[in-house]
Amino acid sequence: MGKHILVIEDEPNIIEAIRFILSRDGWRVDTHSNGEDAVEVVKRTLPDVLVLDVMLPNKSGYDILKELREAEDTRALPILMLTARGQTKDREMAERYGASQFMTKPFSNAEVLENLRQLVGADT
């Protein structure tokens, strides 16, 4: 597959879990853990798909999502939102701001892989 993914997440165990399953599946994985400059990192690395946590230091994943959707070069980027809070309002907010998909933690490895394959498959 060889797709490039950027994971913006601040929990090391989740970063490692996602990195492990995707690397094993042939993906090129980059990670970033600070919300403050996340938008610049996305624009600089231009991944095929983005995994974005809602709760990040210095800036919320929703704010990052909103900025990415407002920018011409990242408007169509497939984005999978991750959150520890799976309330309906969180899902609705992610959808309203333009998340491609939404997953709650904890998640299964198979679920992550399946969702990401769908996102890039739909875009290639």
Domain count of the fold of the chain = 1
What's 23's domain CATH number? Answer: 3.40.50.2300
Local structure of 92: helix, strand or coil: helix
Q: Which domain holds residue 109?
A: 4-121
In 3D space, the residue among 70, 65, 48, 44 whose CA is nearest the CA of residue 123 turns out to be: 48
Tens place of pLDDT per residue across the chain (124 aa) = 479 999 999 999 999 999 999 999 999 999 999 999 999 999 999 999 999 999 999 999 999 999 999 999 999 999 999 988 778 898 899 999 999 999 998 899 999 999 999 999 844 3
User: Going by DSSP bridges, is the β-strand pair 101-104/79-83 parallel, antiparallel, or unpaired?
Assistant: parallel
User: For residue 84, what pLDDT is reported?
Assistant: 85
User: For residue 22, what pLDDT is reported?
Assistant: 95
pTM > 0.75: yes
Contact 70, 43 (CB under 8 A): no
